[in-house]
Structure 1
Amino acid sequence: MKGNPEPHLRVARPTEQLAAIVAMYRDGLDFELIGSFEAHEGFDGAMLGAPGGPYHLEFTQEEGGGAGEPPSPENLLVFYIEDEAQWSRRCDRMAAAGFAQVPAHNPYWDRGGRTFVDLDGYRVVIYRGSWG
């Protein structure tokens, strides 16, 4: 199988509102739709990310529902953004895309970032700083 020899991370989440969730993450995180599928063994889905990037998000919707409840408020996607202007623009994009800003369950994230929740109750932190 051809491809990049470096590891690639896919974070998969279920939803019962695929089109709305895809639009939220596409617009809020400035991602692109990099793949999708329909009626694949009872699932529809979409993958979002930066083309060629080391990670992407996959959202799936099962025929007949069944996404279940989101995990605890400590189950987070965290994006580290070092540049203050870029961080501020990203936070504005998240709000404009329909994410609600919420207090972080762990106060650490509020000291350096903002926590947002999507329509399904999953949380995303936009952290002002670098990793490492």
Structure 2
Amino acid sequence: MPANAAAHVRIARPSRDLEAAERFWISGLGLDVLYRHASNGMPDDHSLLMAGWPDAAWHLELVNDPAAPVEPRPTAEDLLVIYLGEPVPDSLVERLEQHGGKRVPAHNPYWDTWGVTIQDPDGYLLVLSTRNWSNS
């Protein structure tokens, strides 16, 4: 299959703590666990978590290799933007904060005008945008 609009996208990132990341992305944002790989055969000692919505054309792969850990190094411009097309519910921001997120000001003030920026437990930024987006 050629690279085109039908291709699925995986965003892979290192994580310091997959349990904390899972609380944020699954319990906080509401993504589903699509796949989990357990290291050492222990279900709670997993080294890979794939999170996403089942019908989405993208998913997150969060990895933690206990034998060779990679420290997350997010920058102010490493954003995962989700376009909601409506006001960001206060209840969603509160749930993300209750599950390890931290609301932060955006580096680019555009995102403060058009959304809410939440830092995940590894320091990466999730923007919930009030705008719509279409590539067409």
Partner of 1:47: 50
Equivalent residue pairs, number? 124
The one-letter code of the counterpart of 1:109 is: W
**Aligned partner of 1:76 among 59, 74, 79:** 79
Partner of 1:97: 99
Q: In 2, are the aligned partners of 1:78 and 1:127 still within 8 Å (CA)?
A: yes
The one-letter code of the counterpart of 2:114 is: G
CA–CA distance in structure 2, aligned partners of residues 20 and 74 of structure 1: 22
Structure 1 portions without partners, runs of 5+: none
The one-letter code of the counterpart of 1:56 is: H
**Superposed structure 1 runs of 4+ greater than 4 Å apart:** none
Larger strand share, 1 or 2 = 1
Q: In 2, are the aligned partners of 1:78 and 1:125 still within 8 Å (CA)?
A: yes
CA–CA distance in structure 1, aligned partners of residues 74 and 101 of structure 2: 17
TM-score, with length taken from structure 2: 0.81
Partner of 1:38: 38
Partner of 2:13: 13
Structure 2 portions without partners, runs of 5+: 41-45
Q: Kindly, what percent of the aligned residue pairs are identical?
A: 32
Deviations 1:21-76 (A, max 9, x none): 11211122211101111239xx8201111113211111111123522242211110
Q: CA RMSD, aligned part only?
A: 2.0
TM-score, with length taken from structure 1: 0.84
